[in-house]
Amino acid sequence: MTDQRIAPESDLRTGHATQAARLYYFQDMTMAAIGRELGVSRSTVSRLITFARASGLVEIKISTPLGQAPRIERAFADLYDIRAHVVPVSETVDELQRLDRVATFAGRLLTSFFESDMVMGVAWGTTVSAVSRKLAPKRTHNSTVVQLNGAANTRTTGVSYATDIVRTFADAYGAVAQGFPVPAFFDYPETRQHLWRERSIKRVLELQDRMNLAVFSIGVMSGAVPSHVYSAGYLEREDRAELQRDGVVGDIATVFLRSDGSHDRIALNDRSSGPSLDRLKVVPRRVCIVAGASKLDALTAALRGGLITDLVIDDISAAQLILRSRG
C-alpha cells in the first residue's frame, strides 16, 4: 500500500507564497505573469506576496548610501554619533497615531537587527508594548529574549504585562523567552543586593550581560501617552518628590537619569531592578524608540550619556530635538 500523505494547508500556502515571492522579487515578473505561471488569479498572487512579507518569508531592507542619509539623520550622526531612523508622520495625526507609526517602523527594523545565536534585552513599557504588536516574524535559532527589569509593585505583580511583551518578542523570532520575576523597585537596596546573589536570579543577570541587542524607550512623567512606570502605580508620592529633588528627567528600564546624562547618586536607582546604565552602555547595539515631543528632554539626556546607538523617532520630534541641540 502506498503511503499517501497530504501536506497541511499552512505548508501549502507557505510553499506557494515562497514561489510567488521568488518570481516577484528575484525575476521581476508581474503579478499577472506569476498568476499565469502558477495557475491562479492576480489577486491570489497579491495575497500570497502579502502573506510572504507578513510571515517573515520576505524581508525588505532599505540601504542608504554613505553620506547620502537624509539631513536630519545626518545631523544625529554628527551631533551624537548615532544612527537615527526618522519616521515620516503627518502633523495632523494625534499622539496615539504617531506612536503607532513609529512602532510599526521599529517592529520592521528590529527584524533586520536580530539574528540567530543572539540575546535581545527588552525593557517593558508603553512604547515597547506597541512595538511588540508590530514585529515582523523571522525564524531564528538558539536565540533568547530576556526581560531587562522587574515589573512587580505594591498593587500588582506586573507579571502578565511584562511577560506578554517579552513572549510576543520571542514568539516573533522563534526565540526563548526569559522573564525577570522581581519587583520593579525594591523597598530597600539591601534586599536587591541579597537577591542578586541567588542562583536563579544570577542566571538572568548573566543572560543580560550577554546581550547583543537592547530595546527600550524613554520613560517620562508627563505626556499625552504616559509612560507605564509613572501611570501604573510604580512610584509613590515620596518617590516622585525625591526624583524631582535629584533633577531626574526620565528613565530607561526604570533606571533614572538627569538632563546631563548622569545617573549617579540618584537614590531610587539603588532600589531599581533595571540594569545600571553603565552596564547598558557596553551592549553592542542599543535601540531606543521614541514618539512625541514630551520625551525630548529625557531623550537628549540619554544621547548626552552615550546610551543609544540606534534611534527610531518621528520626524517632527526629531527636527525639534536637532533645533534644541543646535540652539
pLDDT digits (tens, 9 = 90+) for 209-236: 999 999 999 998 776 665 677 666 678 8
pLDDT in tens, 157-202: 556 788 999 999 999 999 999 999 999 999 999 999 999 999 999 9
Residue 54: per-residue pLDDT: 80
Specify the residue for cell string 540618584.
266
Report residue 308 as a C-alpha cell: 543609544
Write down the pLDDT at residue 298: 95
pTM, two decimals, is 0.80
In this model, does residue 46 exceed pLDDT 80? yes
pLDDT of residue 237: 85
Which whole number is the average pLDDT over 2-13? 58
Judged on CB neighbours under 10 Å (0-12, 13-18, 19+), 74 is middle
HEC assignment per residue over the chain? CCCCCCCCHHHHHHHHHHHHHHHHHHCCCCHHHHHHHHCCCHHHHHHHHHHHHHCCCCCCCCCCCCCCCCHHHHHHHHHHCCEEEEECCCCCCCHHHHHHHHHHHHHHHHHHHCCCCCEEEECCCHHHHHHHCCCCCCCCCCCEEEECCCCECCCCCCHHHHHHHHHHHHHHHCCEEECCCCECECCCHHHHHHHCCCHHHHHHHHHHHCCCEEEECCECCCCCCCCHHHHCCCCCHHHHHHHHHCCEEEEECCEEEECCCCCCCCHHHHHECCCCHHHHCCCCEEEEEECCHHHHHHHHHHHHCCCCCEEEEEHHHHHHHHHHHHC
Nearest to 296 by CA among 223, 236, 246: 223
Banded model confidence at residue 154, pLDDT cuts 50, 70, 90: low
Is pLDDT of 50 > 90?
no
Candidate from 72-86, 220-234, 258-272 with smallest mean pLDDT: 220-234
Dist. CA 318–CA 48, nearest whole Å: 36
pLDDT confidence tier of residue 9, bands split at 50, 70 and 90 = low
Report whether pLDDT(19) > 90. no
- The chain-wide mean pLDDT, for the chain, equals 88
Least confident of 3-7, 32-36, 60-64, 249-253: 3-7
Q: What's the half-sphere exposure (Cβ side, CA atoms, 13 Å) at 107? A: 25
Per-residue pLDDT band for 1 (boundaries 50, 70, 90) equals very low
Higher pLDDT, 281 or 63: 281
Most confident of 56-70, 76-90, 147-161, 232-246: 76-90
299 has pLDDT over 80: yes
